[in-house]
Amino acid sequence: MRRRASLVLLGVAVFLTALAPLLRWYAFPRLAKVPAGTYQTVVLEAKDATLLDYARMEPRTVPEVTLVQTLKGNVEEARKVRRETGRDVVVWDTLTHVSGPGGAMVSRIPERYVFDAHSQQPVHAGGEHVDGTAVRRDGIEYKWPFLTEKRDYRYFDMQTRTSAPIHYRGTRSFRGLDVYYFEQTVPWTSVPLPRTMPFGVTPEAVRALGLERWYTTRRMFWVDPVTGAPVNGEEIHREELRWTGHPGKKPVTAFAGHVKMRADYVDATVAQVTSQRRLVLLLTSWLPWGSAILGGASAALALLLETRARPRRAFIRQKAHDGGKTERQAPGKRAARSRGGSP
């Protein structure tokens, strides 16, 4: 019975030990992915910011500028791209809406981002664009890959329509989570004017005045390394309208401020990421390590049962052997009695 139990335990040990790497290296890359139908809204604010009054073409200090970023997964477009490319993709249609005092619109910039659902690498299909202008992304945007590494990544900037390294600056603690801090500085660069601006102002009208838009920012992200999701983001952002052909003429500040996520959205993001990271840890750590530990324990128990069963089997074999010798000696004794020998 013990031998049978040890064989069963040994089989369980082999199964669990083989299951551990399969969960980590086979199941996880296929099961962990960004849902195609994601919908998310984030509100960011810049307090005491400088904002251009387009009616007077003069900058003024305002109590608050609000940026609302809406992200919506386009499921139908993702299916279309999947049929064309054979890849499991996500299509995000985003909108960045900037408003000033009283909710007055400052600009609206739509965007389409197509990427691999598992690796977060861009997929060049499905009409990716920024503000209606076709782009070809090189690098990530909005989200880091699952199991983010301690290294620099290429990050796409929607204003310049280009990618540049975003640098890993160390591990920090944020709202009870150990996160990776990344930072990127975009130097002053000439960028397109938004197609939608206040008071019916058009890019063509601004250019007709002899002005062009320049932009710089210092971008900061606190990223959960398990899910790759930012739990906080900030930008020290500046925009200017510069005079073309008049290098000595003073630029007009269009916007200047320290943009931060609103506190309630930080709380909601941290709560959401905390729940999601448990699912990723289940596949990458808890189940693989649990299977490996249980497999080792089953193998040890099987070995223990086998070790304890060996002396008993040896005793049974010896007893059977001695019993056989006794049976072989018994006829000789009976013959001695019949001859009158000693019993």
Question: pLDDT tens digits for 70-94?
Answer: 999 999 999 999 999 999 999 999 9
246: pLDDT strictly greater than 70 = yes
What pLDDT is recorded for position 331?
54
Across the range 105-124, mean pLDDT stands at 94
Percent of the chain surpassing pLDDT 70: 84
- From the number of C-beta atoms within 10 Å of its C-beta (0-12, 13-18, 19+), residue 107 rates as buried
Percent of the chain surpassing pLDDT 90: 64
265: pLDDT strictly greater than 70 = yes
Across the range 229-254, mean pLDDT stands at 93
CB 163 within 8 A of CB 157: yes
CA pseudo-torsion sign 81, 85, 88, 94: negative
271: pLDDT strictly greater than 60 = yes
What are the tens digits of pLDDT across the range 171-225?
999 999 999 999 999 999 999 999 999 888 899 999 999 999 999 999 999 999 9
Question: Pick the residue with more confidence: 341 or 322?
Answer: 322
Across the range 280-297, mean pLDDT stands at 77
Q: How far apart (Å, rounded) are the C-alpha atoms in residues 90 and 87?
A: 10
Question: Pick the residue with more confidence: 248 or 322?
Answer: 248
Q: Where are the domains of the chain?
A: 2-20+287-336, 35-261
What pLDDT is recorded for position 279?
84
* For the chain, counts of helices (H) and of strands (E): 6, 12
Mean residue pLDDT across the chain: 86
342: pLDDT strictly greater than 50 = no
Q: 55 by DSSP, 3-state: which?
A: coil
263: pLDDT strictly greater than 50 = yes
Q: How far apart (Å, rounded) are the C-alpha atoms in residues 41 and 71?
A: 6
What pLDDT is recorded for position 150?
98
22: pLDDT strictly greater than 90 = no
Give 324's contacts (C-beta < 8 A, 6+ positions apart): none
What are the tens digits of pLDDT across the range 149-173?
999 999 999 999 999 999 999 999 9
Residue 293 identity (one-letter amino acid): I
